[in-house]
Chain A
């Protein structure tokens, strides 16, 4: 059983005890503990259940690579599943719970899967649930869904704040171990701006645990001195709790800072996502120890050798009283020595190598530790905890030579450089035979815009395996980085470490090498996803030769740890099964982020009221105060209707449209785009932009225009006013303001760069208010200041002046068929003008109307709406707008396209009005059908509804639609099947789209 030691724990502050909860039990730890070390200190080795077989699992590592100890952390708005206990700093009041079990961690019904594991091999789901097809949707999927996923999703809104920070540095160094520190020293000496980030809360990585000696100092002293030295430099920024998450093109690097995970609720942002532009990036990301593949290597109490050492040295925790060390390399001897020095028992070091003679081995022997050479573990004994190991010959098939009682196993299969960040943006790897790992190939680095390497690795991340080599390599990496960004190369020498004499490791991918099926099917590769040696071998037999395919078939490396422990072991097993060399099989792809980062950090500040910018007109607050129902139109919110007390939206719209036709309506039209187009060539330019002739428009006049793209399709419409000889003001749709402005600039900058035209988007300079209805003129006359009589301001004219003392431009234009003015006033006086209209209009029966009213009024007049009657496939000719397409102009955007066969096809659907026989409202978007079926056996379709409303003014449903040969079928009845399940059909007569005031008498006053 694990426990806290009397001594040790270099990271602990034993004067500050912390209390926390695990599965409802109260436990104690110290400041400086991780949740994993604190759980171990409380005797809790088992921390979860595996994903597929629900096997008991204990913590196996001590860092970000941990696959097993995933817990639910926090409660309510701070609950988060799948948090690694090894990287969770302990704080007072922490609440944690294990996952993936029912009813409890100790007794789990799902563990039956483990008993059935022979029947659930790799690809089990693919093979089993294929037939019958229907069962997938109704039976298998719901059950699997319930069983899937380790932790539970949070139910409450996240209580924390998150943010981004954009940063620019010359050299970014990722990893604050001795390599990162050495690289920072040499980079900083180059006089460039350096940032050094470390994912943990402390500097120096594992050098102090491993007993390195640097510049004749114990590692910790050197680390402290170096951090002090770097902190004093103006050109260096040091940050802990900040992980390099991803490396992208152009030196873009994301880093994930965990600011307040250990101080929840202190008001600081919880996480911060740094988005850094680095001239050069140095990855000093260290290495990860590999597990060994022997039967029962997943039983709680079997851990990585370095992790066992970390828990003892860093946190004063022993994983067990009797630890058997299993290894193929020298490094694990440090664990045996550390255990022994802590007063614990090490019954044996089981070493797969036939003979071990190194200095470390000698030291172990001197301490009286037995070394079983040429040996391996046949199997680990135990269920929820280790009780012993059977020892066998590594060369054999697993016959037990002896059984050793123990309660912990420390395993080491060698070390793999962390190449993830190097690989994210295309850095390539080479296979190192000596150390049995992939390491970065410095000749094939990720390349920047000029073909230059923009990432350099440092230390053990480069594959430098001794402290001496680590420091030499890292110091050189810092120099390289500084030089790459124009700094100078320091002439000072690298820090020097005391030499370590180590014996070469032996490649061991299966223990014992001839293990039979029974052992192999209990030999785990991927602990989190329950992938065993036998699964990978099965995949190979079934023809999965590509490592990427094997990964997906077996789920090897697909868990939240992304195979940090399992990938190399897995592909070595695959290579063996395929009888290939490991480098021929290759690795799977490394993708960001390095370890999972929170969705909150990715979201940054964009949540709640900052989710997205909502554009507001100058009258926005009034609409909201009035209780208007607001709808999104582009990024704007516009008033849809203004319901009175007790009124439904429908009733409100009916009232608004009737009142507008009978008395006076007021509409906030400020969102319409307003683009100034000016220059000697402005007329010529607009002739190209619009389908109709704009150059002939006289100053003071307005003209409705249509805009098409070069494919001939209708993209926007609006009224163009000619301000003076050189200047036009183009109104666009609300959603089109920015895109049409960009469209204009695109043509001006890229195609017609020699035309003398400037544009300016002045949409937001003006509040634009439509005064609509028979009493419109009376209201404006009452406000006073300019002559708005029929003679002074005729239909489709504009005039500058003042109204009610406010500078105004009045356009006499109408989107409703009524007597109508659109008044543009400076935005900062928009609200004042609106209020003035409301007050003065009272006696004329003024009521504001919203966007739905606007739609009904325009539909009653058969006016098209971009986005309703057009959908990106409609040309103006479809809509009967031939009158707005100039035949005189030599060219305009879309002209050629509109001459193509498909565009002139007489079978194109054309716009008509639709009048239901029973006066009902056809559902918007309904399809018109005819007898027979098409080539696909579907009902023949001959058109669709584009706009459909209840018209209160006509007391009936009105609609417009595009119907095949529509204009030739006036008076015909077409059928629109409903989709409400009743099978009913709505019948409508094809009519002229102008339903109301066909002769236009109402506007002609």
Chain B
């Protein structure tokens, strides 16, 4: 069995914020009817997390549920368990109209931390990431420069940034460039 290797193999950068490729994370894409109790229950049962409202991320241990669209969620879990978890959820939802797909390998994931991380993000995303508009437990699907991305804020105020695997290299360079010392906004 070969080791799975994330796209940048844990690269890091220290600028005016710290950036780290966050390594392997289980990700399960789920689509279904948010109004159906059977659907929301199955998702919460798997994760132990509350069902998220619009633009919310709900965390519970290794798990998180991220709101992606009115009929799409992303479940975060341990990488090793992703396929088993996806299979379990699919089984729980058997008979429902829903789609469950393990997409753990389709993504690159970055962690960004530091007091000025909003400033680094502001250089890249047109989304409002000010303190009034983007808080812990919120997720935004947006773009960072020219690549599609999702950004969510953890309870400790750091953020995780997800993009497609194929542009992981671009994203890392982009984040490093935005975090270059001397480019602080001083807001």
List the interface of chain A (C-beta within 8 A of B).
161, 163-168, 193, 237, 266-269, 275, 277, 604-606, 609-610, 612-618, 636, 676, 678-680, 756, 758-760, 762-766, 804-807, 826-829, 831-833, 836
Give B contacts to A, CB under 8 Å: 1-7, 24, 29, 31-32, 71, 83, 97-99, 101-107, 122-128, 130, 132-133, 145-147, 164-171, 173-174, 177-178, 180-183, 185, 187
Residue of B nearest to A670 (CB): B166
Residue of B nearest to A836 (CB): B2
User: Which one of B98, B164, B177 lies within 8 Å of A610 (CB-CB)?
Assistant: B177
Instruction: Tell me which of B7, B123, B124, B187 contacts A237 (CB under 8 A).
Output: B187
Question: How far is A170 from B102 in the complex, measured between Cα atoms in Å?
Answer: 42
Evaluate contact between B2 and A805: CB separation under 8 angstroms.
yes
Tell me whether B123 and A828 are in contact (CB under 8 A).
Answer: no
- A605, B123: Cβ atoms closer than 8 Å: yes
Take A161-B180, A163-B178, A163-B183 as given contacts and tell me if A612 and B97 are in contact as well, using a CB distance cutoff of 8 Å.
Answer: no
Is B122 within 8 A of A760, CB to CB?
A: no
* Residue contact A610 to B145, C-beta cutoff 8 Å: yes
Among A636, A676, A680, contact of B166 (Cβ-Cβ < 8 Å): A636
Give the dominant DSSP class at B's interface: loop
Complex alpha-carbon distance, A763 and B167, angstroms? 13
**Total CB contacts across the A-B interface at under 8 A:** 138
24 sampled A-B residue pairs with Cβ under 8 A = A161-B183, A165-B122, A266-B182, A268-B183, A275-B126, A604-B145, A605-B174, A610-B145, A610-B173, A610-B177, A613-B171, A614-B169, A615-B164, A615-B166, A617-B166, A676-B99, A758-B71, A765-B104, A805-B1, A806-B2, A826-B4, A827-B106, A829-B5, A832-B5
A805 nearest CB neighbor, chain B only: B1
> Which of A267, A613, A614, A763 has the largest count of B CB atoms less than 10 A from its CB?
A613
Give complex CA distance A766, B169 in Å: 17
Given contacts A610-B173, A760-B31, contact A267 B130 (CB under 8 A): no
A833 to B3, CA, bound (A): 10
Residue of B nearest to A763 (CB): B106
Q: Which residues of B contact A269 (CB under 8 A)?
A: 180, 182-183
Are B2 and A610 touching (Cβ within 8 A)?
no
Query: Per a CB cutoff under 8 Å, which of A193, A275, A613, A617 touches B146?
Result: A613
**Contact between chains at B187 and A828 (CB < 8 Å):** no
Q: Specify which chain B residues have a CB less than 8 angstroms from the CB of A613 in the assembled complex.
A: 145-147, 167, 170-171
User: Given the known A-B contacts A605-B174, A679-B99, are A164 and B123 also in contact in the complex, defined by CB atoms under 8 Å?
Assistant: yes
Return the chain A residue nearest B146 by Cβ. Answer: A613
Min distance, Cβ B175 to any Cβ of chain A, angstroms: 11
Let me know if A828 and B178 touch, CB within 8 A: no
Question: Does the CB pair B6–A756 fall under 8 Å?
Answer: no
Chain B, Cβ-Cβ closest to A760:
B101
> Given the complex of chains A and B, what is the CA–CA distance between A605 and B124 in angstroms?
9
A267 and B182 form a contact (CB under 8 A): yes
State A837–B164 Cα separation when bound (angstroms). Answer: 26
CB contact between A760 and one of B29, B125, B177, B181 (< 8 Å): that residue = B29
A614-B169, A827-B165 given; 11 more Cβ-contact pairs under 8 Å: A168-B130, A267-B180, A269-B182, A269-B183, A275-B126, A605-B178, A610-B145, A618-B7, A762-B106, A764-B166, A766-B105
Q: A166-B126, A267-B181, A829-B2 are in contact. Are A762 and B169 (CB under 8 A)?
A: no
CB-based nearest A residue for B185: A165
Shortest beta-carbon contacts, A-B, top 6? A832-B2, A615-B166, A828-B4, A758-B99, A827-B105, A764-B106
A636 to B132 alpha-carbon distance, docked (Å):
38
Residues of A within 8 A of B7 (CB): 618, 828
Contacts of A163 in B (CB 8 A): 123, 177-178, 183
Which of B24, B132, B165, B183 has the largest number of chain A CB atoms within 10 A?
B165
Contacting pair A833 B166 (CB below 8 A): no
Q: Please report the C-alpha to C-alpha distance between residue A976 and residue B169 in the assembled complex, in whole angstroms.
A: 46
Q: How far is the CA of A678 from the CA of B94 in the complex (A)?
A: 12
Chain A residue nearest to B145 in the complex (CB)? A605
- Contact call A605/B2, Cβ cutoff below 8 A: no
Residue of B nearest to A727 (CB): B99
Cα A828 to Cα B170 in complex, Å, equals 17
Chain A residues near B145 (CB-CB < 8 A): 604-606, 610, 613
Shortest distance in angstroms between A638's beta carbon and chain B's nearest beta carbon? 12
Q: In the complex, are the beta carbons of A760 and B99 less than 8 A apart?
A: yes
Q: How far is the CA of A766 from the CA of B29 in the complex (A)?
A: 15
Which residues of A lie under 8 Å from residue B183 when comparing CB positions?
A: 161, 163, 268-269
CB distance from B173 to the nearest CB of A (A): 6
Measured CB to CB, the closest approach of chain A to B159, in angstroms, equals 16
Residues of A within 8 A of B98 (CB): 758
Give the residue among B145, B164, B187 with the most A Cβ atoms within 10 A. Answer: B145
Q: How far is the CA of A267 from the CA of B3 in the complex (A)?
A: 40
- Give the Cβ gap from A1000 to chain B, nearest Cβ, in Å: 34
Instruction: Give chain A nearest CB distance to B150 CB in angstroms.
Output: 14
Chain B positions within 8 Å of A614 at CB level: 167, 169-170
Minimum CB–CB distance from B110 to chain A (whole Å) comes to: 14
* Contact B146 A765, beta carbon cutoff 8 Å: no
Contact between B166 and A616, CB atoms less than 8 A apart: yes
Chain B CB count within 10 A is highest, among A605, A614, A676, for A605
Determine how close the nearest CB of chain A comes to the CB of B140; give it in whole angstroms.
Answer: 12
A255 CB to nearest B CB, Å? 12
How many angstroms from the CA of A654 to the CA of B4 in the assembled complex? Answer: 35
In the docked arrangement, what's the CA distance between A807 and B102, Å?
Answer: 13
Q: How far is the CA of A636 from the CA of B167 in the complex (A)?
A: 9
CB <8 Å contact, B103 and A765: yes
Q: Which residues of A contact B165 (CB under 8 A)?
A: 618, 764, 827
Q: Select from chain B the residue with minimum beta-carbon distance to A164.
A: B123
**Which residues of chain A are within 8 angstroms of B181 by Cβ–Cβ distance?**
267
Residues of A within 8 A of B146 (CB): 606, 612-613
- Contact status of A678 and B4, CB under 8 A, knowing A163-B123, A605-B178, A758-B31: no
Contacts of B3 in A (CB 8 A): 829, 832
Chain A residue nearest to B107 in the complex (CB): A764
Query: CA separation between A676 and B28, bound complex, in Å?
Result: 14
Query: Which B residues lie within 8 Å of A833 (CB)?
Result: 2
Given A605-B145, A806-B2, A833-B2: A828 in contact with B166 (beta carbons within 8 A): no
| Cα–Cα, bound, A617→B174 (Å) | 19
Cβ B99 vs Cβ A680 within 8 A: no
Q: Could you tell me if A758 and B106 are in contact, using CB atoms closer than 8 angstroms?
A: no
Which A residues lie within 8 Å of B5 (CB)? 828-829, 831-832
Collect the chain A residues with CB atoms within 8 Å of residue B83's CB.
807
A828 to B132, CA, bound (A): 37
Q: For residue B94, which residue of chain A has the nearest CB?
A: A726
Contact A756-B97, Cβ < 8 Å, known A168-B130, A612-B146: yes
Q: CA–CA, A614 to B172, complex, Å?
A: 12
Q: What is the bound-complex CA distance between A604 and B166, given in angstroms? A: 22
Given known A165-B185, A168-B133, A610-B145, contact A765–B99 (CB-CB < 8 A): no
Contact indicator B169/A616 (Cβ below 8 Å): yes
Interchain CB contact under 8 A, A268 and B182: yes
> How far, in whole Å, are A86 and B124 apart by their CA atoms in the complex?
33
B71 nearest in chain A by CB position: A758
Q: Which of A275, A605, A766 contacts B177 (CB 8 A)?
A: A605
- Contacts A617-B166, A828-B6; A762 near B177 (Cβ below 8 A): no
Q: Which residue of A lies closest to B187 (CB)?
A: A237
* A680 & B123 in contact (Cβ 8 Å cutoff): no
Alpha-carbon distance between A762 and B178 when the two chains are bound, in angstroms: 29
Identify B174's interface contact among A167, A610, A827, CB under 8 A.
A610
Contacts of B126 in A (CB 8 A): 166, 275
Q: Which of A267, A828, A831 gathers most chain B CB within 10 Å? A: A828
Q: Which residues of A contact B4 (CB under 8 A)?
A: 826, 828-829
- Min C-beta distance of A190 to chain B, whole Å: 16
| Residue in chain A with minimal CB distance to B163 | A613
For residue B139, give the distance in angstroms from its CB to the closest CB of chain A. 18
Establish whether residues A765 and B166, one from each chain, have CB atoms under 8 Å apart when the complex forms: no
Q: Tell me if B166 and A166 are in contact (CB < 8 A).
A: no
- Bound complex: CA A764 to CA B164 (Å): 7
A17 to B171, CA, bound (A): 45
Cross-chain contact B133 with A679 (CB below 8 angstroms): no
